A and B are shown apart, each in its own frame.
Chain A
Amino acid sequence: MSANAAPAPDTEEWSDTDATSGGGPRPGAGGWIVRIALAVIVLVWTIPTIGLLVSSFRPEAAVRTSGWWSQITTPLDWTLENYATVLDGGMGAAFVNSLAVSIPATVIPILAAAFAAYAFAWMEFRGREVMFVVFVALLVVPLQVALVPMLRMYSSLGITGTFLAVWLAHTAFGMPLAVYLFRNYMGSLPREVIESAKVDGAGHFQTFWRLIIPLSVPALAAYAIFQFLWVWNDLLVALVFLGGSPDVQVVTLNLASLLGSQGQAWHLLTAGAFITMTVPLIVFFSLQRYFVRGLTAGSVKG
């Protein structure tokens, strides 16, 4: 919300009553209906997660034999043991590994895709449309088909088991979506902005860094969240290219290794799910404000 819209929520409080009498000055209509509708959606969306959260504090036997909600009515037996077990299992080192994988594997595709998207949107060159179609078509190719040829290439270059190998793989897998999203966003920026930069004597490279990137922050941030989540929660790519030895294990693999010989340790899974969730949530909250900054881009448009 921009500065001039800031007082709006207050007006809303007052407009509740006169909303029926012909519409208030700002979004007041049906303030309570809005709130109730939203509360219902949010509640429905949150119940599953609450179930997981409650379960993560329950002893193993209880998780298997009674519903999680019974824990709320009979608040006995809350335990931190699930968390202790998960954290004891080498989770700390796995966090560091996961960060070392996820941060570059998010930033690199953003950079490369932003450059490409700019070219697709604002530069003239032969084969532009064909190449863009190919990028979009590759959106649906399952990454499993690429693993074997990639590993062969890595083996001959001798870079299996390195961070670089995983970064490049994630960069490739994330690229089609990034190019598609960024091309869409950058293409909608007004021509005058780019023209005016050219008049000022800026080349494409300067225009890109000084103008397009700042204007595209909302799209970049949205994709960053998406890609980061994907990489953070990925197991397969890391397993194949980084490996499974304890010193390079990522969080997801570390968690899988705790789950018992038949993968039956549900109680640890619940605690593990919450521990691994913390980082993506931090990323979300820290990037959230950039969506608001996106207003500047929108205001140029108007």
Chain B
Amino acid sequence: MKLLTALFAIVVGVGGTVALFYGLNYLVEHTLPQRMRDTARPWVFIGPAILIVGLYLLFPALDTIRRSFMDARSTSFVGSKNYEYLVTDPGTRETIWNNVLWILVVPAVSVAVGLAVAVLADKLRPKWENTAKSLIFLPMAISFVGASTIWGFIYAWRAQGQPQIGILNAIWTQLGNEPVAWLDQQQYNDFLLMVIMIWLQAGFAMVLLSAAIKNVPDDTIEAARIDGATEVQIFWRVVVPQIRSTIVVVGTTILILVLKVFDIVLVMTGGRNGTDVVAHRFITEMINNRQLGRASVLVVFLIVVTIPFMISNIRRFREQESAR
């Protein structure tokens, strides 16, 4: 019975969406006068997307910008007070610096690992290729609570003399050292958290990059090979240029995820010991501290950070369109 209800819901949901687009198209093609059709047609295509994104994201985002100039419960305007607070707050500089590190490290390393696996696995027999790729992909499927438990088993610390249940300390103490509380070490604890993100996201990078590599036409590779290029040269001079746009997209997507990352920090350290990042700070201010004004400033910050990358994307699309 429950199964039937669920099945019915799925059919209605998916079918309804398809019907919506057909219906809209029908309306435009059969009810509007000829001259209006061309104007209306693009709106059939983007209308539903715009409507839903406008209602659910754009409107709240604009509202957030407004709230960034208001007090904790958004009851009165306070000018730039929230901005001043965050600029003068000593923790903010560290938080932003941490975010910069995340932005520099995580997308690059995730793409590098994903690319390496995609390239190397491509040279194996399909059976082994699929096995290798599936194993790299595996972490993506693990729920967040599962992933944090796993990394608990890796970074865990126990008093000296107690059995170490974290694999890092087990190896470390076997080598004759005292156990180290890894996540307390301010010099590198940020990187230990980044490792988790990379571990989760490399599979995503690999999936997209592998598809792109397989789309590189064989004849371009053959031609280079006939010219006497080595495999390494072929990779850098033939394959990489042809999958460049995929690399950019994958890197961008992971960059976005990095900007939004808060759960890894929340679960592993709660932002202590100099590991805080902007998105986690935002959650703390909004949910725990109920400081809507300050939380909103952080969202504005995230949006501002993405401006350069929006510009570069637009530029790239213009190039793409003029080239075809």
Interface of A toward B, CB cutoff 8 Å: 1-2, 4-5, 9, 12, 23, 25, 27, 29-31, 34-35, 37-38, 41-42, 45-49, 51-52, 55, 63-70, 93, 96-97, 99-100, 103-104, 107-108, 111-113, 115-116, 118-120, 123-125, 128-129, 131-142, 144-146, 149-150, 153, 163-164, 167-169, 171-173, 175-177, 179-181, 183-184, 187-188, 190-191, 203-205, 208, 218, 222, 225-226, 229, 232-233, 252, 255-256, 266, 269-270, 272-274, 276-277, 280-281, 284-285, 288, 291-292, 294-295, 297-299, 301-302
Contacts and interface: CB of A to CB of B under 8 A. Distances in A.
Interface string B49-64: 1101101111111011
A172 B55 contact: yes
Contact of A204 (B41, B123, B231, B279): B41
B109 interface: no
A269 B59 CA distance: 38
A302 B217 contact: yes
B60 A104 contact: no
Interface residues of B, number: 117
Given A49-B139, A187-B317, A191-B324, A138 B58 contact: yes
A131 B46 contact: yes
B132 to A, nearest CB: 5
Contacts of B202: 45
A136 B313 contact: yes
B10 A103 contact: yes
A182 to B, nearest CB: 10
Contacts of A205: 25, 29, 44
Contacts of B2: 93, 96
Contact of B150 (A51, A150, A179, A285): A51
Contacts of A5: 218
B172 interface: no
From B137, B149, B151, residue with most partner A Cβ within 10 Å: B149
B170 A135 contact: no
Interface in B20-50: 21, 25, 29, 39, 41-46, 48-50
